[in-house]
Amino acid sequence: MATLTPTRTSSRPLWRWATFVIVALLIAGAFGFVLTTELVDDSFRAGMVNLTVLASLMLFALWFLIFGGWRWYVRIGLVVLGFAALFGATFVLFNYVVDVRGVTGDWKPKFTWKWTPKADYRLASEPKAETPTVAPATLNELPEFAAFLGTDGSNRLSGIGLDPDWEKHPPREIWRRTGDKGVGPAWSGFAVAKGQAVTQEQRGDYEMVTCYNLADGSLLWAHKEKDKTRFSEFQGGDGPRATPTIVGDRVFTMGANGLLNCLNLDTGKSLWMPVDVLADSPQAGQVPHWAKSNSPLVFEQSINGTMRQLVVVSLGEDPSRTSTSPGGLLSAYDGNTGQRVWSCSDEDWTSYATPILTTLGGEKQIVSVNANSVTGHDSTTGTLLWSHKWGNGMAKCSQPVPVGDDRLFLSQGYHAGAQLIKVDKKDDKWTVSQLWENKEPKVMRTTFSNVVVYKDHVYGLDDGVLQCIELNTGVKKWRNGRYRYGQVLGVDDLLIVQAEDGKVFLVAADPEKHRELGQIDALHDKTWNNPVLVGKYFLVRNAEEAVCYELPLKGN
């Protein structure tokens, strides 16, 4: 019987060489992770680390095959057995022991045990209205937060007067919905008017619009008529994404698969038949990869001498992802009837930001952030006024921010960064010029969060780290506070930062340095939803629970 003995001797034991190779590569990968913090986005760095580990294993296997010292058939057998054992252990681990339940904003997997109960989108699939202990009408005097990023979409509130000393005057929890009384999966935020907080949730096989009493958290109504649909993808999970828009007594919602609803705010009843905006579009766009995340834009517009309420929505994604044919960017619907008024097509397709209404170059217009551009459209007809090439082909979620009468601040994640552009009209001709764009390192890589502009400075989450830059130059003032992929809301001279892990932080909007002033352990899992502040009532939610706090005000 042959004995398995080395064919040659080595001055160093085999395991020492193997350890040296693997450790050296892992150290190199770790240093690369640290040194590229502001040069490479988190999602790409995570990929680099994974590739480093895989490369270490492959190089060790190759080294062992060539220099292992055993007979060639033994070396091959050991490598095959080693990889078979590795893949077998991985199969058993992820099929019977460990579960991956989604990923974070930087694509880090969320591990848990297979036997840990998970929130099922079918939980409480038939929610019933609850009797309020306090009538929502008692909060009628409060200002509204009636749309995505606020009624005016600016992501900043003024004149609130929050007390920043949360140590002496801590926020008070008013109500919380969790467990069996929790909310269904969704990344929609709340829209609040008349003391009623409206959001979207996945409940069973239905994509539902739900309305809660801001005063006590009781469920006032839940709408599911003809909305039997469900969207799901690995990174974001189940459920709708877009925040409702409230105008008067009407609620307008955009579902994850493109279903546009118009409901009565007090009852949740449909005011007209839901519209599948993708099927209704003249262009053949498909549901975007990460769902229809754009909220409806609602405004009054004179058309042929008659004032009409227009509901403007973005459309679909390029079906082939490589098409150069005209894409469908926007459609407008009559708010009273649900009939399409106009639809525009251009040489681009939609992305994930919500259209905004603003005035540039002295003309009211709709601004849309698209897959490869940002465009301005006539608010009456949707006709293209101007177009500016923008982005690197990756998803765009961050809102364009109007600055003055002729400028727009733009930001995007995935290493696109930010820029400031000027939009002007002269002799009936529109011109777009770039005022600045950072090269390296990029600034304001906002991924799927939004910025706050305050006193000529911009505050936002740059690849998960809070950053302050000069608006007019793009120069970085500071970058500190790893809140990861959450959201930011401006309140006077303060920032409310909703961290990705559910915690909430109060931060000074100070261009000189990063200063944390307070913290609430509000939620307890991944939170991408935008926070809402209505007077002193602070409302946050994620895919499982919702909570309302009373924030302290100065002088109270």
Is the pLDDT at 108 greater than 60? The verdict is yes
Asked if 102 and 130 sit in the same domain, the reply is no
The total number of structural domains in the chain stands at 2
Asked if 263 and 327 sit in the same domain, the reply is yes
Check residue 9 and give its pLDDT. Answer: 44
Q: What is the DSSP letter of 399?
A: P
What is the mean pLDDT of the segment spanning 33-40? 58
Strand partners, 451: none
Asked if 63 and 193 sit in the same domain, the reply is no
Asked if 85 and 195 sit in the same domain, the reply is no
Strand partners, 251: 246, 263
Asked if 98 and 223 sit in the same domain, the reply is no
Asked if 98 and 128 sit in the same domain, the reply is no
Q: Last residue of a domain, which of 45, 79, 106? A: 106
Is the pLDDT at 122 greater than 80? The verdict is no
The residue range of the domain holding 211 is 124-146+187-352
Is the pLDDT at 237 greater than 60? The verdict is yes
Integer Cα distance of 509 and 459 in angstroms: 8
Integer Cα distance of 416 and 41 in angstroms: 10
Q: Which of 57, 85, 68, 51 is nearest to 17 (CA)?
A: 68
Evaluate whether residue 554 is within a structural domain.
Answer: no
Check residue 8 and give its pLDDT. Answer: 46
C-alpha 220: how far from its chain's center?
27
Check residue 49 and give its pLDDT. Answer: 67
User: What is the per-residue pLDDT across 358-380, written as a single tens digit (0 to 9) for each?
Assistant: 999 999 999 999 999 999 999 99
Evaluate whether residue 461 is within a structural domain.
Answer: no
Check residue 60 and give its pLDDT. Answer: 75
Evaluate whether residue 341 is within a structural domain.
Answer: yes
Asked if 44 and 135 sit in the same domain, the reply is no
Evaluate whether residue 247 is within a structural domain.
Answer: yes
Evaluate whether residue 228 is within a structural domain.
Answer: yes
Q: Last residue of a domain, which of 352, 376, 400? A: 352
Which of the four pLDDT bands, split at 50, 70 and 90, describes residue 11? very low
Asked if 32 and 128 sit in the same domain, the reply is no
Check residue 94 and give its pLDDT. Answer: 78
Asked if 91 and 192 sit in the same domain, the reply is no
Asked if 248 and 336 sit in the same domain, the reply is yes
Where would I find the beta strands (DSSP E) of 131-266?
156-157, 172-177, 191-193, 196-203, 206-213, 219-223, 232-233, 237-238, 245-247, 250-254, 259-264
The 3-class SS string of 69-83 reads: CCCHHHHHHHHHHHH
Lowest mean pLDDT among 41-55, 276-290, 316-330, 531-545: 41-55
Evaluate whether residue 464 is within a structural domain.
Answer: no
CB-facing half-sphere around the CA of 463: CA atoms within 13 A:
21
Is the pLDDT at 156 greater than 90? The verdict is yes
Tokens standing for residue 278: 């993708």
Write the CA distances from 312 to 40, 240, 297, 342, 406, integer angstroms.
36, 18, 5, 9, 22
As a whole number, the mean pLDDT across the chain is: 88
Q: Last residue of a domain, which of 319, 352, 385? A: 352
Evaluate whether residue 178 is within a structural domain.
Answer: no
Q: Which of 399, 356, 350, 395 is nearest to 376 (CA)?
A: 356
Asked if 45 and 192 sit in the same domain, the reply is no
Integer Cα distance of 546 and 523 in angstroms: 8
Burial of 393 (0-12, 13-18, 19+ CB in 10 A): exposed
Check residue 20 and give its pLDDT. Answer: 65
Integer Cα distance of 529 and 243 in angstroms: 9
**For position 243, which CATH number holds?**
2.40.128.630
Which of the four pLDDT bands, split at 50, 70 and 90, describes residue 13? low
User: What is the per-residue pLDDT across 253-267, written as a single tens digit (0 to 9) for each?
Assistant: 999 999 999 999 999
Which of the four pLDDT bands, split at 50, 70 and 90, describes residue 47? low
Evaluate whether residue 399 is within a structural domain.
Answer: no
Asked if 214 and 260 sit in the same domain, the reply is yes
Write the CA distances from 531 to 161, 191, 292, 488, integer angstroms.
17, 10, 20, 8
